[in-house]
Structure 1
Amino acid sequence: MLRLLKSSFWSFLSVLVRAVSSIAINKLFAIYYGPNGITLYAHFQNLLSIITTVPDGGTNIGIIKFLANGRAISGNYRRYFWAGVILNVCCALAALSIIFSFSGYYLEAFVDSFGSSEVWLWAILFGAGSVLVTLNLMLMAIALARRELKWHVLSTTFTTFGAMAAVYYTQGRLSLNQILLVVLGVQSLAFFFTLAILYFKKLLPPLKKINIPKSIYKDLWKYILMALSAVVCLKLTDFYIRDFVIARFDLYQTGLWQAVVKVSENYSTVYTAVIGMLVYPRMAAMVNQEDALRKFVRNTFYLVLPGLIVALLVIYFLREWVLLLLFNQDFVVAEYLFDYQLLGDFFRMWSIVLTNLIVVRAHVKLYIGWQIASALLYITLVSVLLEPFGLEGITVANALRYAVTLALAMLYYHKYIRP
């Protein structure tokens, strides 16, 4: 129990650090660079996420599983470590090649006023920084795998508050393009900080020549495929649904629904971060201990239930205040959309424990099929329910989608959750 409380404390602290620094750095960009700065900073973050999402949501999830046990000097640990490095770099370079190949689309906002030599310098610095950020995320995943949450928080703090300090101390004296590279540079330096932490904790394998068998890459490639399926299905589905709604409602009505979605994303991010730090690494460590894994999953599945109910009820009763806090008076009329949105979030967030189990057990075909079926179900439900229910039909479709997801997950993994 004491260990769980300590882990929960460090998990909460990590989420708090990220939330506070995110709000603060956006505020600083607004003060020193105005709306243009906010827009370009958001675009820069999206650009970086194109590079880091698949490595972090794919390779690093596998790394957490395969490095959760064993000593750093063991051959297996070394093989997975260096395979992870290679795959992370390859994924980052593949994403960068796409960005540079379509530079007119991805980079125009940043390099439009540059000369040709400045464009190449900016691109090289951006590419190098992106690769280091990607590798730092892998090192942080190793800290999670070994349940070194305190050091994970320190690395997160260095990354986020370092970027915030860079914007604060330059106080708008740099151009937008320059400050964005400075922020990326600080985040890149975090790689060396985290590297030193892992060296200190003896979690870095020795630098020896090693042969990595294809089976190792195959193990990690499964997680890359699952990450790709999740990203493609979620992004394409969200884009399609948003476009579908805009075509049938005006931008104001669509904006009301999107405001509720944004509120949902904010508290969902906190929940998934805590689950990712507390639950998934422990599942990974127990993956070959069937009885221990079953007991842990069952306890966790039912333990989160009352907490979820209380938290979502609080949000429901404070929904008007939340809309005023995050937006303004114009958005208060959207509070009626919270009913089914919160119900859908309850089903989705409760099911995350079981979907994590699918990932940790590397049921690739099931996971990909699950993502595709969920996306198609959501699209179908929205198209059917939008006309009779209006804007609320989207949230009804969302609730039904995740009710089905939870029911199927419980059916598939009944042996893990039955008393």
Structure 2
Amino acid sequence: MTLVGTTLLNGIAVLARLFTGLALNKVLAVMVGPTGYGVIGQFQSFAGMIVALASAPVTNGVVKYTAEFGGQPERRAAVWRTAATLGLMLSLGLAVLMVCFQRPLAAWSIADADRSYLVVILACALAFMVLNALLLAILNGLKQVRALVVANIAGSVISALTAIGLVTWQGLNGALAALAVSQSVAFVVTLFIFRRQVGASLRSMVGRLDPQLARGLGRFAIMGLTSAIVVPIAQMVMRDHLARTLGWSTAGLWQALWKISETHLLLLTSTLSVYFLPRFAEIQDAGELRRELKRGLAFVIPLVLCTSGLLFFGRNQIVRLMLSDRFLPMLDAFGPQLLGDILKVVSLVPAYTMLSHGQTRVYVVTEILFSAVLAGLTVWFSQTMGLRGAALGYAATYALYGITMWFVLRRLLARLGSKPAPDLAIAAEAAPS
């Protein structure tokens, strides 16, 4: 499917996630306020880290090899079987550890050991979350965009309804529980769509590991594990610092600002994942990769500039719509946060070439380095400029990250045997005049 076709279809899924996210954010903002939002953010980071740890072997590696072995059904089935077995083994091991250490984990993640039951709920749901991620990755690798869109829409709606019901029933505790179970509830729908579209059963996808494929998936798992550990920890460090120095209310405002950024970038980042990750994985020619990069930049640069401008000029109304009047103090940080969004999107296009070509060592080093840079700059800038300083730290980090990714891209193109590799001028060539 073409980039435009993929974007349009994916846009439908993004709109569904956007509307369900708006509804959920509104309920959360009214029910728990900025302080509760900060606590939710802490547990969300913890849950995201655990889920990413368990699903590391079943995400980007599965997308790459499913796309790469498009004409080899037996090899492709071996990829799925190996990934599913690895993912289930890892999720079972993590679940046992979480149950054994539930109170210390609850005390660390949300500073409340008495809420350790949330860790147990997350442990019980973990295997279903891993299987959900695996099935979505297979659909992505097969370029079954329509099925992937339907699965994402259904999952978003069901997860949001589950969360809204639990929040309405139990307030903050319900919101925290929803984070632990929402993806596992979506698995039921994803499995139904997968069975109809692909025809493979879960039973056929669990069995003997292929050692060669396990090593290949292991490279991607290392990248996923790195992100699973360092990114949430960096967020938790930043949130904890803001809570200790400026109060949990400011930490909640920062969390809401990040949530708006996630919603803002949803179409762009999900399109990069759905279209460019399998597409870049197929490309082994430097010239073709250069052309695809230009197409990607020509797509993302004007779009992110347009959406950022609309958000900036409508920021007052957007905060009132998505959240409530209690979140209006975050408006001062909107400008630098949107600048960070723009820089992030431009840097992600070359970053996906690194991910799709399995440059494990470079990925691990840059992920650790820039997570540390983000946490460090956020802490440093926020000490003198408060919430606005935290947003400036985000923008500065992605400026440095983007420059680094273009140098990484030059090395990849040189390795693929290109003519002199592109530099930042590609962005200028790609942007419309």
TM-score tier by shorter-chain length is 0.7 to 0.9
Quote the RMSD (CA, aligned, Å): 4.0
1:312 equivalenced with 2:312 (yes/no)? no
In the other structure, the counterpart of 2:391 is 395
Q: 1:397 to 1:35 in 2, by over 3 A?
A: closer
In the other structure, the counterpart of 2:86 is 87
In the other structure, the counterpart of 1:9 is 8
| Selected match of 1:220 from 217, 221, 229 | 217
> 1: CA distance between counterparts of 2:181 and 2:372?
42
What code does the residue aligned with 1:12 have?
Answer: G
Q: 1:57 to 1:18 in 2, by over 3 A?
A: farther
What code does the residue aligned with 1:328 have?
Answer: S
Q: 1:219 to 1:77 in 2, by over 3 A?
A: same
Q: Partner of 2:143: helix, strand, or coil?
A: coil
In the other structure, the counterpart of 1:119 is none
Q: Partner of 1:147: helix, strand, or coil?
A: coil
What code does the residue aligned with 2:102 have?
Answer: S
**What displacement does 1:289 show?**
3.9
Q: 1:182 to 1:231 in 2, by over 3 A?
A: closer
> 1: CA distance between counterparts of 2:134 and 2:260?
29
**What displacement does 1:410 show?**
1.7
Q: 1:340 to 1:357 in 2, by over 3 A?
A: same
What code does the residue aligned with 1:102 have?
Answer: F
> 2: CA distance between counterparts of 1:378 and 1:48?
20
Q: 1:168 to 1:354 in 2, by over 3 A?
A: closer
CA contact 2:350–2:405 (8 Å) conserved in 1: yes
Q: How many residues align?
A: 401
CA contact 1:28–1:167 (8 Å) conserved in 2: no
1:371 equivalenced with 2:370 (yes/no)? no
**What displacement does 1:56 show?**
4.3
**What does residue range 102-121 of structure 1 map to in structure 2 within 5 Å?**
102-104=101-103, 105-106=105-106, 109=115
What code does the residue aligned with 2:373 have?
Answer: L
What code does the residue aligned with 2:19 have?
Answer: V
CA contact 2:333–2:388 (8 Å) conserved in 1: yes
Q: 1:173 to 1:140 in 2, by over 3 A?
A: same
Structure 2 residue ranges without an equivalent (≥5): 107-112, 411-420
CA contact 1:55–1:224 (8 Å) conserved in 2: no
In the other structure, the counterpart of 1:19 is 18
In the other structure, the counterpart of 2:415 is none
Q: Note the alpha carbon deviations across 1:266-305, whole angstroms, 9 max, x for none.
A: 213443222212222221232x344322311222123311
Q: 1:404 to 1:136 in 2, by over 3 A?
A: same
> 2: CA distance between counterparts of 1:182 and 1:385?
36
Q: Note the alpha carbon deviations across 1:101-133, whole angstroms, 9 max, x for none.
A: 123355954859xxxxxxxxx96x976654233
> 2: CA distance between counterparts of 1:308 and 1:17?
19
In the other structure, the counterpart of 1:348 is 344
CA contact 1:66–1:80 (8 Å) conserved in 2: yes
What code does the residue aligned with 1:400 have?
Answer: A
Structure 1 residue ranges without an equivalent (≥5): 113-121
| Selected match of 2:245 from 243, 248, 252 | 248
Q: 1:267 to 1:328 in 2, by over 3 A?
A: same
> 2: CA distance between counterparts of 1:231 and 1:164?
23
**What displacement does 1:225 show?**
1.3
| Selected match of 2:128 from 113, 126, 132 | 132
Q: 1:301 to 1:80 in 2, by over 3 A?
A: same
CA contact 1:72–1:78 (8 Å) conserved in 2: no
| Selected match of 1:231 from 228, 231, 247 | 228
Q: 1:310 to 1:358 in 2, by over 3 A?
A: same
**What does residue range 186-201 of structure 1 map to in structure 2 within 5 Å?**
186-200=185-199
CA contact 2:26–2:322 (8 Å) conserved in 1: no
CA contact 2:64–2:281 (8 Å) conserved in 1: yes
**What does residue range 285-324 of structure 1 map to in structure 2 within 5 Å?**
285-286=282-283, 288-324=284-320
**What displacement does 1:193 show?**
0.5
Q: 1:27 to 1:395 in 2, by over 3 A?
A: closer
Between stretches 228-237 and 387-396, larger displacement belongs to 387-396
What code does the residue aligned with 2:396 have?
Answer: L
In the other structure, the counterpart of 2:140 is 144
TM-score, normalised with respect to structure 1? 0.79
Q: Note the alpha carbon deviations across 1:110-160, whole angstroms, 9 max, x for none.
A: 859xxxxxxxxx96x976654233213211211111111111122234434
Q: 1:128 to 1:232 in 2, by over 3 A?
A: closer
CA contact 1:73–1:205 (8 Å) conserved in 2: no
> 1: CA distance between counterparts of 2:51 and 2:231?
16
> Identity over the aligned pairs, expressed in percent?
17
Between stretches 59-68 and 85-94, larger displacement belongs to 85-94
Q: 1:29 to 1:216 in 2, by over 3 A?
A: same
Q: 1:335 to 1:18 in 2, by over 3 A?
A: closer
**What displacement does 1:308 show?**
1.1
In the other structure, the counterpart of 1:329 is 325
Q: 1:315 to 1:147 in 2, by over 3 A?
A: same
In the other structure, the counterpart of 1:77 is 76
CA contact 2:131–2:187 (8 Å) conserved in 1: no
> 2: CA distance between counterparts of 1:207 and 1:330?
52
